[in-house]
Amino acid sequence: MFLKKSILLFFLFCGINLIQAAGPIEFTFRNPNDGTELSATLEEPVGAYQKIVIIIPGSGPDDRSVHPKLAAQLLESGMAVCRFDDRGTGKSKGRYGEATIQDFTYDLLGLFDYLRTSEAFAERQIGFLGHDEGGLLALNALGMEATPAFLVLLGTPAMSCERIIFDQTESSLNARWQFGDETPQETRTYLVEIHKILRKDLPKKATKKEIQAYLKANGIKYKVNKFLTPYYRYYIDFDPTETLRFLKVPTLYLVGEEDEFMQSKQNIKRIWATGNAFIEYEPLPGLQHYLQASGDQIYEMSPKALKKICDWLATQ
């Protein structure tokens, strides 16, 4: 017993935090629209807490291990963190590749409603923290009558998704959308016509045939399957601007000044143009899309971004 107490006193004297969070709580919930069962984990800080932050990652299938530094910082700041496996990922059921932004939003609503109606968390403030497309899901959930206590948007589009694609054709990201060696303006022209075809809402085979015929007439050989997914068809018509204009939830909007992927300067201008007093916005100098200075570790967020997020949440 004396030895155990001595070891404990040594760690405390050295300023080492032996326990940063209570044990994680794993649970399942369902998409209220299609019934898909998904899996999540809630991590609670040591001691009493008031806020639960649902972290929503960006595009692409992610599991609950995303944003580890952000989760750790939130826990250390006295907030609980909830992360989940995207459908078709980890322990969650369903198929990611067949889903749209609307489907993913219903997944988020299922998680939010599970926490909101659980007796254990009934008195907590539950909010959303979304990066990139995760922010779009949070905004879409607001439009579907979700009532989060707060909202944090990181590198989230403040314009229509179609406009994002068009703007990227005129930036260093043009290669993502090029069909060959055409100019950015030609790329945009081709995409405009392809989107017109998609909006005819023809059967998939007929749509594919018409797009291929259009490209062939312009001397282009290109695999068009990426345009035919339910996700892409829904994505080009998704626009969060009205939700941003009229939301009445305390919101923090952060974007890296060096974020070319989401055209940071244009997004900040659009946030400013909403005139919405509920949104506090700030471009972070020297940071890129993942709110880091550089590097390939996409979830290694900058300390100054982490501090800004936690400090702001603490005041809500």
220 shares its domain with 283: no
Asked if the structure places residue 143 within a domain, the reply is: yes
Asked if the structure places residue 9 within a domain, the reply is: no
Asked if the structure places residue 208 within a domain, the reply is: yes
Asked if the structure places residue 11 within a domain, the reply is: no
Q: Is the pTM of this model over 0.75?
A: yes
Chain segment 87-126, per-residue pLDDT in tens: 999 999 999 999 999 999 999 999 999 999 999 998 899 9
**Mean pLDDT for the stretch of residues 291-297:** 76
Contact 52, 127 (CB under 8 A): yes
152 shares its domain with 294: yes
139 shares its domain with 256: yes
* Listed residues 205, 235, 265: the one ending a domain: 235
The length of the chain, given as a count of residues? 316
197 shares its domain with 264: no
170 shares its domain with 271: no
For the chain, give the mean pLDDT. 89
110 shares its domain with 212: no
Asked if the structure places residue 154 within a domain, the reply is: yes
Q: Which of residues 312 and 123 earns the better pLDDT score?
A: 312
| Domain that includes residue 278, residue range | 20-159+239-314
* Listed residues 187, 220, 235: the one ending a domain: 235
Nearest Cα residue to 198 out of 209, 188, 187: 209
The tally of domains found in the chain comes to 2
* Measured distance CA(122)–CA(130) in Å, rounded: 22
225 shares its domain with 243: no
pLDDT at position 165 over 60: yes
Contact 236, 161 (CB under 8 A): yes
Asked if the structure places residue 108 within a domain, the reply is: yes
Asked if the structure places residue 48 within a domain, the reply is: yes
pLDDT of residue 22: 59
Nearest Cα residue to 61 out of 36, 86, 31: 86
AA identity, residue 57: P
25 shares its domain with 143: yes
**Mean pLDDT for the stretch of residues 46-56:** 96
94 shares its domain with 181: no
Chain segment 57-79, per-residue pLDDT in tens: 988 899 999 999 999 999 999 99
Nearest Cα residue to 114 out of 82, 151, 144: 82
179 shares its domain with 131: no
131 shares its domain with 40: yes
- Residue 105 burial (CB count, 10 A): 25
Asked if the structure places residue 75 within a domain, the reply is: yes
DSSP string, 198-244: HTT---HHHHHHHHHHHHHHTT-----GGGSSHHHHHHTT---HHHH
Contact 162, 196 (CB under 8 A): no
177 shares its domain with 39: no
pLDDT at position 14 over 60: no
Q: Which CATH number do you get for residue 131?
A: 3.40.50.1820
* Listed residues 235, 258, 290: the one ending a domain: 235
